[in-house]
């Protein structure tokens, strides 16, 4: 037990150091820092505009109303902001790290190489986007019809998001990381990253919008539905056994499984790595 506590404390120290270094680095380019927040606001605005325009013509979309869809979008924005903070900068430089031989240095450090390569830089500017997303989500939840707020203890159930959003984030990260690991084998696997962005678009929509066959894929093999769609359900949909089973068993269980799978993939792919500029 003490061993695990020490390990967690060590991780916290590492993350604090990474946060400090990243903050200093980010503030060096102040225009870029503020523009990053603006980029996110533009992206949020474009996603909101699509649904606001669509709901001018229909009252429900895949069983959700405009108020419920706003909650879903809020959860999606939070998950995206967290991904941007912790992983975006690192995954963008992944190919370069391998090609320039910087991975050699990372492999020699006394910390998990997967952790180091995935989290060695943070995008602090996106903390601003995260705050905006959280405020939007709280506003969207408080705007849900009064009946669903009173009937289903919605604010208590909102607390589930503290677990479910990070679970979805881990699934998102694991899939991306597994694809990136293939760079060790194929050297230039940029095309897989481009392809990933297209598949990632499935998470921008509620899983209930998709036909049953695609929906099954999005909740099992390629569980993009757990990034925002399933976590939103815990707040939006009436509580039921199936819902909790899907959130806890599916969301949390799959995130643990995918993290494990990403670690296996990384260790396997490392066997193909033949040092600098390979």
Partner 1 sequence: MNLYLSKNSNGGSKNSNGGSKNFNGSGKNNKGRLGKIFINRLKRMIIKNWSFAKMAIITNMEYRFNFFIDIFIQPIVGSLVELTLWLAVFSSISSKTIGGFTIQHYLSYVIWAAFISRITTNWMYEFKMVEDIEKGTLNTLLLRPISFFETYLSQFLGYKFMTTAFSLFVPILVVSIFQWPMLWERIPVAFILIFYYLIFAHLISFIVATISFHYTKVISFSVAKNILLWTLSGEFIPMDLFPKAYIYPILIHLPFANGVYIPVGFLTGRFSWDVLWLGFISTTLGILAVSPLAYWCWKQGLKVYTGTGA
Distance in Å, CB of 128 to partner 1, minimum: 13
- Nearest residue (CB) to partner 1, 15 versus 196: 196
Distance in Å, CB of 55 to partner 1, minimum: 10
Contacts of 181 (CB under 8 A, 6+ apart): 262, 265, 266, 268, 269
The residue ranges that bind partner 1 (CB under 8 A) are 29, 31-32, 35-36, 38-39, 42-43, 45-46, 49-50, 53-54, 56-62, 188, 190-192, 194-195, 197-199, 201-202, 204-205, 208-211, 214
Q: How many CB atoms lie within 10 A of CB 59?
A: 7
Distance in Å, CB of 212 to partner 1, minimum: 11
Nearest to 81 by CA among 148, 157, 136: 136
In angstroms, the first-to-last Cα distance of the chain is 41
By the 8 A CB rule, do 53 and 66 touch?
no
Distance in Å, CB of 192 to partner 1, minimum: 8
- Nearest residue (CB) to partner 1, 61 versus 117: 61
Q: Could you tell me how far CA 118 lies from the centroid of its own chain?
A: 13
Q: How many CB atoms lie within 10 A of CB 144?
A: 18
Tokens of 37: 């927040």
Distance in Å, CB of 176 to partner 1, minimum: 16
Please count the CA atoms within 13 angstroms of the CA of 207 that sit on its side-chain side: 22
- Nearest residue (CB) to partner 1, 42 versus 264: 42
CA distances from 204 to 23, 227, 263 (A): 29, 9, 26
């Amino acid at each position: 037990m003490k061993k695990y506590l020490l390990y967690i404390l060590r991780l916290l120290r590492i993350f604090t150091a990474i946060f400090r270094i990243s903050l200093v680095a980010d503030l060096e380019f102040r225009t870029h820092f503020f523009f990053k927040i603006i980029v996110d606001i533009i992206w949020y605005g474009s996603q909101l505009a699509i649904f606001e325009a669509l709901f001018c013509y229909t009252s429900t979309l895949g069983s959700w109303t405009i108020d419920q869809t706003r909650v879903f979008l809020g959860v999606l924005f939070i998950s995206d902001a967290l991904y941007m903070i912790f992983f975006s900068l690192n995954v963008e430089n992944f190919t370069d790290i391998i090609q320039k031989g910087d991975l050699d240095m990372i492999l020699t450090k006394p910390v998990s190489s997967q952790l180091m390569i995935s989290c060695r830089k943070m995008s602090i500017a996106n903390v601003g986007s995260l705050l905006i997303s959280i405020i939007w989500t709280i506003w969207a939840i408080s705007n849900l019809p009064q009946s669903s707020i009173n009937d289903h203890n919605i604010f208590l159930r909102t607390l589930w998001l503290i677990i479910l959003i990070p679970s979805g984030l881990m699934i998102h990260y694991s899939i991306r990381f597994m694809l990136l690991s293939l760079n060790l084998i194929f050297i230039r696997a940029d095309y897989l990253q481009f392809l990933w962005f297209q598949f990632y678009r499935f998470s921008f929509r509620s899983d209930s919008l998709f036909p049953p066959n695609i929906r099954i894929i999005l909740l099992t093999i390629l569980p993009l539905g757990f990034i925002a769609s399933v976590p939103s359900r815990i707040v939006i949909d009436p509580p039921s056994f199936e819902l909790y089973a899907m959130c806890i068993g599916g969301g949390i269980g799959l995130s643990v499984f995918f993290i494990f799978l990403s670690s296996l993939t990384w260790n396997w792919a490392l066997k193909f790595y033949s040092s600098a500029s390979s």
